[in-house]
Amino acid sequence: MPVTFNLGEALDSLLKAAATSAGLEAAAFVPDVRIADPRHGDFQANGVLGYAKARRLNPRAVAEQLVAALPAEVAADYTVAIAGPGFINFTLKPATLLAWLRAHDSAAHLRANAATARHGQTWVVDYSSPNTAKQMHVGHLRSAVIGEAICRLLEFSGAKVIRDNHVGDWGTQFGKLIWAYRRHLDAAAFAADPLEEFERLYQVGNAAADADPAVLEQARQELVKLQAGDPENLAVWKHINAVSLAAFQPIYDRLGIRFDHTLGESFYNDQVERIYRELAATGLAQESQGALVVFHPEHPRFKTQPFIMRKADGASNYATTDLATALYRAEYFHADGIVVVTDFRQADHFEQLYLTVRKWFAARSYRLPELHHVTFGAVTDADGKALRTRDGGTIKLKELLAEAEARAYALVSERSAELPEAERRAIAAVVGVGSVQYADLAQNRSSDYVFAWDKMISLEGNTAAYLLYAVARIHSIFRKLDAVPGEAATEAAGTPPETPAELALARKLVKFADALRLATDTLRPHFLCLYLYELAGDYSAFYAADKVAVDDPAVRARRLLLCARTLLVMETGLGLLGLRTLTRM
């Protein structure tokens, strides 16, 4: 019989069908299948408890009816038991475990089976989104790392994903910056580090404007000229942006990020008139204190807190461009879903934005995509304060990544001194960046995250290195036995798992599908991290308990199959998180 990728979902369907044939009110019955505690089984159906209680029935009796109505294939694949007040427990039989492992024997097969949930859908993911003319700092890391993982998860579930870097390239800061750029550019400093020089120039312009009203006026004029399309200022502005984006690229390269588009705020400049017109025409927008704003009377706060979409001076702001951006993504990209990844402080803005977009699109009969604002907490130091350098400055992302790599290099040199230096450097690059990425991903994104080098790179517990170490050990076994993962002869000779450690590992492997679904549906990559960590733990326990390189060919084949499949799932899962893997470390 065919083995489905997501066994829990398949059970859910079978239970619904059984409810009908058992004469239950099938429409009202929700099987509620979920991963069970391994002590109870692999999956459990909790749905009969609520169903029976609501109808004053005996839950155990209902469960028995339901189990009796299940097709024979379920009894062939699972040991089924009714337990406690009416839980139905399903424990996979060893032969079923083997069948699943055999059916999912390559990255292509995993991908093909996973890529049904969002087949044919288009999702736009807006992440990273730094301001130009500034360096990326630690605050930009979470958006980039979480956003990239979400892109990969959505792609794996079958969606076409459009990665859009919505850079802040059109702020009022450009007046002062252009003023200073024209007068105080240090060519040598610019050549050494353009972003550092832009930041210095902005500070020079800012200080000069503070000190001298004439300078302030000149800077204002520079901005007016820029916004009016003055060719010279436009050229300077374009140069600043081009240089900034080029300077970001090495960081994106290290994080494995490639954007499809970099449509910053300036891209929407010529579309704001349409936004004003349409929101005024639909009656959503109104004049208030000289500004054009949207109130939401049904909302406890936004009935009085305005969504300002045109300032009193007539200028647009980020509400305007975000409205235009939503429209562009719906009209031009035909997005079925939009995901914007920013920190939680922008929650109010996006709540107002999405309320407005929903009403606006409804009024114009535009097709409304799913709108998601993926938020994440602050990165703090051990005292819970925003993470800063010792002198109070922000921590630059490129320095942070360099330090991660340096720490990883020191560690690998200590643990694996026998490896050639070039390889230790290469390992440090993977472990260093991966540790930073993983530390960001492994924690539920809603909460603040305490940044601590020691926890991140110490390589114990739920860290990238622990997972990469498990992967490296599997590769090491294959090297030692002069074998290749997934070899046909070995796979064919593999028999069902037998020992407790083999069974625990196999049972964890088949739950990859559920972890993927959970992480993707909730847009929370930490569910996948948690799964991979547990998988690595089950593998390590298996590794310690059951030797692979034994003489008995049947036992060896059985265990090599488990090694090959663990490797496949680990490498696939880590790849979805945006991490690279190693064969030695």
Binding of RNA by 372 (CB under 7 A): no
Binding of RNA by 4 (CB under 7 A): no
Binding of RNA by 412 (CB under 7 A): yes
Q: Give residue for tokens 């921590």.
A: 395
Binding of RNA by 79 (CB under 7 A): no
Residues 415-444 that bind RNA (CB under 7 A): 415-416, 427, 431, 442-444
Min CB(80)–RNA separation in Å: 12
Min CB(462)–RNA separation in Å: 6
Among 305, 359, 372, 425, binds RNA (CB under 7 A): 305
- How many of the chain's residues bind RNA (CB under 7 A)? 98
> How would you class 419 by CB atoms within 10 Å of its CB: exposed for 0-12, middle for 13-18, buried for 19 or more?
middle
Q: In a 3-state reduction of DSSP, which class is residue 563?
A: helix
Min CB(315)–RNA separation in Å: 7
Nearer to RNA, 164 or 265 (CB): 265
Residue type, 66: L
Locate the DSSP E strands across 101-158: 122-126
Min CB(278)–RNA separation in Å: 19
Among 16, 40, 225, 372, binds RNA (CB under 7 A): 40
Binding of RNA by 404 (CB under 7 A): no
Residues 47-66 that bind RNA (CB under 7 A): 49-50, 53-54
Q: What's the rounded Cα separation, in Å, for the pair 339 and 150?
A: 9
Q: What's the rounded Cα separation, in Å, for the pair 38 and 46?
A: 16
Nearer to RNA, 122 or 505 (CB): 505
Binding of RNA by 461 (CB under 7 A): yes
Q: What number of CA atoms fall less than 13 Å from residue 401's CA on the CB side? A: 19
Q: Which stretch binds RNA (CB under 7 A): 106-114, 186-194, 250-258, 469-477?
A: 469-477
The DSSP output letter for 114 is: H
SS3 content of the chain, % helix, strand, coil (to 5): 60, 10, 30
Min CB(289)–RNA separation in Å: 4
Residues 516-575 that bind RNA (CB under 7 A): 518, 526-527, 530, 533, 537, 540-541, 543-549
Binding of RNA by 469 (CB under 7 A): yes
Binding of RNA by 459 (CB under 7 A): yes
Nearer to RNA, 59 or 194 (CB): 59
Residues 109-148 that bind RNA (CB under 7 A): 131
Q: Which residues contact 545 (CB under 8 A, 6 or more apart)?
A: 499, 500, 501
The number of helices, as runs of H, and strands, as runs of E, in the chain is 24, 13
Element (H, E) at 78: strand 78-83
Q: Are 440 and 462 in contact (CB under 8 A)?
A: no
Among 20, 203, 288, 495, binds RNA (CB under 7 A): 288
Among 15, 67, 294, 477, binds RNA (CB under 7 A): 477
Binding of RNA by 291 (CB under 7 A): yes
Element (H, E) at 537: helix 526-545
Q: What's the rounded Cα separation, in Å, for the pair 248 and 266?
A: 18
